[in-house]
Amino acid sequence: MNKTNRKTTIVKINRSQPDRTVIARAAALLRNRGLVAFPTETVYGLGANALDAGAVKKIFLAKQRPADNPLIVHIGFKKETGLYARNLPAAAKKLIKEFWPGPLTLILKKTGLIPDIVTCGLDTVALRMPCNPIALSLIRRAGVPVAAPSANRSGRPSPTSAQDVIEDLYGRIDFVLDGGQTQVGIESTVLDLSGNIPVILRPGKISYEQLKSVLGPVLQPARITKSGAPKSPGMKYRHYAPRARLIIVQGKEIDVMHWINRQITRTRNKTGVMTTIREHRYNGARIKYIGSTFSRIGKNLFRSLRELDREGVRIIYAESIPERGYGAAIMNRLRKAAGFKIVKV
Ligand code: TXA
Ligand code: MG
């Protein structure tokens, strides 16, 4: 794995009925210190055996991930929670029952089985049971918990297709399970259950409102700002950024459209626009209509940023979306991707 010219094997696999021989091959690689990228319902993950510190180290090298940003441990069965987490609070049990398998990660006090490199020395561990059948069969077949961050180079938009993974990591990892486009499109909700009150560290598809209806009091993340103190180590890094300059535009729909159109006519740079309103017209720009429902927008967000990069766009304008329910999670990613550049018109 140290040699950068090493080949990466890519194999297509059906999501509803994952081929067992392919899964067995990928699982064997995981048991033998290999790095395997696989689809989850949120984004593609870059997996290694979470119990093997040497294997986990390779994840950090391949992604060029900062050494103080801990990894999520993915498990194949709910009952494994007790192996890796201790003092399980009642809240955890309720949430596991309600939302697992699914896009919710729980931060819990860890047991001694989890090596320090996974948690970056914290006394907590992030646990998640994904619901994508490819991910589940891989983890179960491997017979070990799988540490897996998103399978992108650090800082880049998270990967929602095998093509995205290959673009960032080809030659640096052993295997890619190509299970098509991911369903959710942004990463899991991260909820800290290690303190007295549950705190959302990273918003996601499982929304504040949903968590509150199961748990009662939950702390929302303070809306992130450039200077806000990070609670989750990963929150302080530059994230999700396309190569193009990304600017969020906020205001009345019609004003937003007119403002962006004025910018397009003024600049000589190739420009892209991400819109959620089909009727909006942007002449002279690459237009990505990313959908009008939060589900569609979430699914298309990172995908469209990467597409616009591939099309050689230099500036991207993104229309702002309402920050209620799942919309809050989408805007969280968009803000970070834009390096907090927001224009109010
Ligand atoms: O949907 C997802 O969660 C995807 C798929 C592959 O499962 N994974 C993912 O992993 O997004 P990653 O590494 O890109 O993001 C994990 C986040 C980071 O912000 C990290 O700092 C935080 O979880 N995290 C991990 N362990 C933690 C811990 N013990 N305490 C606080 N935050 C933690
Ligand atoms: Mg990530």
Residues 327, 294 contacting (CB under 8 angstroms)? yes
Mutation pick for ligand 1 pocket among 99, 190, 224 (CB with most ligand atoms within 8 Å):
190
Kindly give the residue spans of alpha helices, DSSP state H, lying in the chain: 20-31, 53-63, 81-84, 90-99, 116-119, 133-142, 162-169, 208-215, 253-266, 294-310, 326-337
Q: Is 43 in the pocket of ligand 1 (CB under 6 A)?
A: yes
* pLDDT score recorded for residue 268: 86
* pLDDT score recorded for residue 238: 65
* pLDDT score recorded for residue 256: 98
Q: CB neighbours of 103 closer than 8 A, spacing ≥ 6?
A: 40, 41, 42, 128, 130, 131, 184, 187, 188, 189, 204, 205, 206
Ligand 1: centre distance to CA 264 (Å):
37
Ligand 1: centre distance to CA 122 (Å):
13
Ligand nearest to the CA of 75: 1
Residue 122 Cα: closest atom of ligand 1? 29
Residues 297, 291 contacting (CB under 8 angstroms)? yes
Mutation pick for ligand 1 pocket among 40, 72, 136 (CB with most ligand atoms within 8 Å):
72
* pLDDT score recorded for residue 91: 97
Which regions in the chain score pLDDT beneath 50? 1-4, 224-225, 228-229
Q: Is 275 in the pocket of ligand 1 (CB under 6 A)?
A: no
* pLDDT score recorded for residue 125: 98
Name the pairing type of β-strands 286-289 and 271-275: parallel
Q: Is 163 in the pocket of ligand 1 (CB under 6 A)?
A: no
Name the pairing type of β-strands 199-202 and 189-192: antiparallel
Q: Which residue's C-alpha comes closest to atom 24 of ligand 1? A: 70
Q: Which residue's C-alpha comes closest to atom 17 of ligand 1? A: 234
**Quick one: how many helices (H) and strands (E) in the chain?**
11, 15
Mutation pick for ligand 1 pocket among 122, 146, 187, 199 (CB with most ligand atoms within 8 Å):
187
- Burial annotation 36-50 (CB, 10 A radius, 16+ → b, else e): bbbbbbbbbbbbbbb
The answer, as to whether pTM is greater than 0.85, is yes
- 3-state DSSP assignment of residue 344: strand
